[in-house]
Structure 1
């Protein structure tokens, strides 16, 4: 009877999907017809409301159709619903491209733009960079498609995002070959949990793009260990290609891959040899799986060959380990101090650390709890056992998570404390896969005892809440006490003019080392710029001439004003501070284009 009802509803589903695809088309066209005319503090508020209405309608249709009970004939509508949802997420993630942003990404993204330009014009060899992956790919796109390098880099970001959205459900389908599980995993991937806007971003950022590609590594890993003997001949070659690509994208990412692989290798070697444990069904299944020893050795060889030539061990890895040891001996860590300082800053503007945490990490918290539930079930009961490989691979993923948790702790207590959120992003790849399995099992089990329609309605509402809360924090904005990373053409031109007209030998000063980053982007030097000074509250208190003590160019942009006065609500600088620059002694305005103003600081000496 239910199957017949599902079949009779198929025409309505097709109609709803047609409306959904029409709405997403209208959203994209409206967004494209409303390009940014200057710097935008928030992509959310500056994008026309009709765009968000269309995206919301499309995602609502996608959720409703994907979770509706279907007959065999309804598989087409479920697949179409997932494509609709994926299209909506593509439009959302691609808004900086669709709305014609000149570039999108401050800080590291500007340096990446410079490196990509250097590779394109031949002044930088990709082999001289530690992680030339996103840069060489953007140059390839630039040469094939003909779009500017800055837009090619944004396209690389979008492609990495789509790879995550594709390979998370494929990973779940490897373990749970059920269309409902694939639908759940797809919407779980739409949350884009590895992107936190804290140290992983939706703009060119080599580590973020490699974290998103971690879903591809997990997919080939699961395919390999669960493949029947004699049917996995091509998978090692695929793993080899993924490993080589990963080390070029970011060798630190490969180091994290190795931690996961080594943890699973230890599990495969030791656990089946423990007398009492070896009799359990899950452990016997692990004993039947393909071993990762050879592939792990290959990945380690590739990693060693590349990173040894770029000083990875003597640089970043050495600092991380040595400072973690120092913390254990002296108790002097930086992460706790940083968190306390941020909590104090939030309190000063009437917010709280708890509020900021929930805005940024509520979906992560929910998904982590679901992942913990399925891990606990697998360890204690050897279930869920609806599919034979679920329990065993859950143990694998839990073991990999344990290894990454160790790295998280090392980063947290070391001078590289900002890196712990990047490991957290990798952990979220495992978490969303495990949470999808947990939700699938829960929906199937509950549907057997209560109304399936009621259960799926709750599932739709559950995902709707998570998608809204996650996408609201996907791009930095005042909602999350930050500012958009939009780089307008006027802003770029302002810095180009400032550098071009500067007297030789006089350095710049700016907020947050912005002159260094724009210098990287404009001059495309292989070595990061570090010669320019920063602006601090003391710069205004003492006066720029007295504070710096030497002649300088002081650059102030609209980004700086909006960030400090709107996003940070005047926490560090007031509007009076910015306005007073025109009245400071020994400070002369030499250029302004409406978004970037350059002052000449002249000392009395």
Structure 2
């Protein structure tokens, strides 16, 4: 290609990047100019189409510039790096939409309890060490104190920071392993898929385990760097110190993650020991051993959990669950799956449909990682397999080590925490999948003696499809038969007023544990609130006053109504039931602000 053509090509790429950055800036401004005015059932449908158009344009530019090669290698490297920055900014805007659009808070259930604990730490009613995993709460208070941002908004920033950590350190990890910018680019867009987030026990909202798993990408980057430490230069390295500090931060974020990592590093240590004993001249034998790191993780976990009774309680719980599952014909994860399948069938959906919506990108990357592991066993004498880097063996070992934990969680009755193990597994799958894609694309070009111009546009198209399928299911919405956990100003203020004016000895009734969690969020309870009740099994239109001996408050919000009637298709509560509340005898509305209604139910012992 002529010099003039190369200059034109480089100019075109730069102009495209300018268009991409302008598009993402316009998208953020459009989102900011159209804040939420009330509860939003779906962040996707209630966000302006101009926002999504800007995100799509910016992401398309990032993919095209990152993977479609130009005539000049030096220019390509520079513009490709800018394309990765552009893609990262797209992810920041996407993940930060609840912040940009002015949400009061985003997250129900555990997220509301975490907000309350952060509030309690800020007010001094509890200290961080009273909590089992005070990581996200202390960071929230730090942001609140340093920047003056409200606690509810500061906690949303903690969630956003964890996404940023994951999207930065996954490509850095792969780039360190391969020493290839192209591999790092593939890993960056793989990270943008956010495979650990499944909306089942792993969320893009305040949830300690979710943030800990995303944060672990930094730990694995330091792990890869630690393997390359020159052990002859110093007994203690800077990377080793950073690795220890990050491990300590991980246990503060969530000790359960550290318990899983212990299994991972024990597996890696075993692999290293076997390699050193039988293949002393191999690549693994020449790397820094992880024995001391594994012992450090074990000691760290035991010291942190000693005062919380977590270790003994966890072992007892899982031991009893496994015994029940195998010897008493108990039911574990399959019962949950069957129940969800029945509910989906009632809504006109099915398990296959929801599986593909939630897990198709995870399935594709899992097949790539599984294919790599299978190839290493079946074709172990192949020159291609023998050239696979040692770190690949470690990450495959990590997946194998986590399988027993996944099965134990699956056997535990009434639990979906096996998706937490799956979330951690997806971190390794993201890295392995990136390495496989890089290896296959490079091998394809080399075998056919072709330039990258043939295979890389296919990568761009493939990632465009996977990113669309993945990101459309990151936030809960009716698309996945769920409702947004958006907490509006009216909803939070309504609960605040209700708790402040609550009569003595009169409890609350609310749907799906709502009053308990909002009680945590507003009052900063040291222990989770379990005093408030749910509606009777007969439903909301069952003459509520006759179902209770004493007086009760009944809370109904706009979020409750839209969740039950639209997202859940009146599976449990119908529109008619909601409408019947106002006309029932001995049920009086005492508070309303448009999105929050509080009713006084005069029970059987108070018929006046």
* Fold in common (TM above 0.5): yes
The answer to whether the 8 A contact 2:543-2:584 is kept is: yes
Please state how far the C-alpha of 1:603 moved relative to its aligned partner.
1.4
Match of 1:179 in 2: 181
- CA change 1:383–1:489 in 2 (3 A) is farther
Equivalences for 1:228-307 in 2 at 5 Å? 228-230=230-232, 233-274=237-278, 278=279, 284-307=282-305
> Secondary structure of the residue that 2:554 maps to in structure 1?
strand
The answer to whether the 8 A contact 1:557-1:595 is kept is: yes
Match of 2:330 in 1: 332
Is 1:169 aligned to 2:175, yes or no? Answer: no
Is 1:602 aligned to 2:602, yes or no? Answer: yes
Q: 1:220 aligns with which of 219, 222, 245?
A: 222
Please state how far the C-alpha of 1:570 moved relative to its aligned partner.
1.1
**More divergent stretch after superposition (476-485 vs 367-376):** 367-376
Structure 1 CA distance, aligned partners of 2:288 and 2:164? 29
Is 1:308 aligned to 2:306, yes or no? Answer: yes
Query: Once the two structures are superposed, what CA deviation does each residue of 1:336-378 show, in whole Å capped at 9, x if it has no partner?
Result: 1111111011111111110011011111001111111222233
Structure 1 CA distance, aligned partners of 2:359 and 2:277? 40
> Secondary structure of the residue that 2:158 maps to in structure 1?
helix
Structure 2 CA distance, aligned partners of 1:382 and 1:388? 7
Structure 2 CA distance, aligned partners of 1:316 and 1:556? 36
- CA change 1:389–1:142 in 2 (3 A) is farther
Please state how far the C-alpha of 1:547 moved relative to its aligned partner.
2.9
Match of 2:516 in 1: 516
- CA change 1:536–1:428 in 2 (3 A) is farther
TM-score (norm 1): 0.96
Q: 1:439 aligns with which of 433, 437, 440?
A: 437
Structure 2 CA distance, aligned partners of 1:221 and 1:383? 28
**More divergent stretch after superposition (3-12 vs 367-376):** 3-12
Please state how far the C-alpha of 1:534 moved relative to its aligned partner.
1.2
Match of 1:369 in 2: 367
The answer to whether the 8 A contact 1:264-1:292 is kept is: yes
**More divergent stretch after superposition (581-590 vs 60-69):** 581-590
Please state how far the C-alpha of 1:166 moved relative to its aligned partner.
0.6
Equivalences for 1:86-235 in 2 at 5 Å? 86-230=88-232, 233-235=237-239
Structure 2 CA distance, aligned partners of 1:502 and 1:86? 47
The answer to whether the 8 A contact 1:348-1:571 is kept is: yes
Structure 2 CA distance, aligned partners of 1:415 and 1:265? 32
Cα RMSD (Å): 1.9
| Dislocated runs of 4+, deviation >6 Å | 383-389
- CA change 1:59–1:3 in 2 (3 A) is farther
- CA change 1:213–1:390 in 2 (3 A) is farther
Query: Once the two structures are superposed, what CA deviation does each residue of 1:459-511 show, in whole Å capped at 9, x if it has no partner?
Result: 11100000001110010000010011110010001111111222101110101
Match of 2:11 in 1: 11
Structure 1 CA distance, aligned partners of 2:381 and 2:109? 46
Match of 2:550 in 1: 550
- CA change 1:530–1:73 in 2 (3 A) is same
> Secondary structure of the residue that 2:531 maps to in structure 1?
coil
Structure 2 CA distance, aligned partners of 1:334 and 1:345? 18
The answer to whether the 8 A contact 1:197-1:476 is kept is: yes
Structure 1 CA distance, aligned partners of 2:495 and 2:36? 19
> Secondary structure of the residue that 1:161 maps to in structure 2?
helix
Structure 1 CA distance, aligned partners of 2:542 and 2:383? 69
Please state how far the C-alpha of 1:134 moved relative to its aligned partner.
0.4
Structure 2 CA distance, aligned partners of 1:389 and 1:116? 49
Structure 2 CA distance, aligned partners of 1:190 and 1:539? 43
The answer to whether the 8 A contact 1:142-1:148 is kept is: yes
Structure 1 CA distance, aligned partners of 2:519 and 2:53? 39
Structure 2 CA distance, aligned partners of 1:2 and 1:193? 42
Aligned length: 599
Match of 2:488 in 1: 488
Equivalences for 1:457-476 in 2 at 5 Å? 457-476=457-476
The answer to whether the 8 A contact 2:223-2:243 is kept is: yes
> Secondary structure of the residue that 2:453 maps to in structure 1?
helix
The answer to whether the 8 A contact 1:31-1:48 is kept is: yes
Please state how far the C-alpha of 1:535 moved relative to its aligned partner.
2.4
Match of 1:53 in 2: 53
Is 1:566 aligned to 2:570, yes or no? Answer: no
> Secondary structure of the residue that 1:452 maps to in structure 2?
coil
> Secondary structure of the residue that 1:200 maps to in structure 2?
coil
Please state how far the C-alpha of 1:287 moved relative to its aligned partner.
1.4
The answer to whether the 8 A contact 1:319-1:415 is kept is: no
Please state how far the C-alpha of 1:386 moved relative to its aligned partner.
7.5
Unpaired stretches in structure 2, ≥5 consecutive residues: none
Q: 1:419 aligns with which of 392, 417, 420?
A: 417
Match of 1:593 in 2: 593
The answer to whether the 8 A contact 1:374-1:384 is kept is: no
Structure 1 CA distance, aligned partners of 2:383 and 2:93? 38
Structure 1 CA distance, aligned partners of 2:565 and 2:557? 12
The answer to whether the 8 A contact 1:320-1:415 is kept is: no
The answer to whether the 8 A contact 1:552-1:601 is kept is: yes
Please state how far the C-alpha of 1:330 moved relative to its aligned partner.
2.2
Query: Once the two structures are superposed, what CA deviation does each residue of 1:17-41 show, in whole Å capped at 9, x if it has no partner?
Result: 0000000000000100111000000
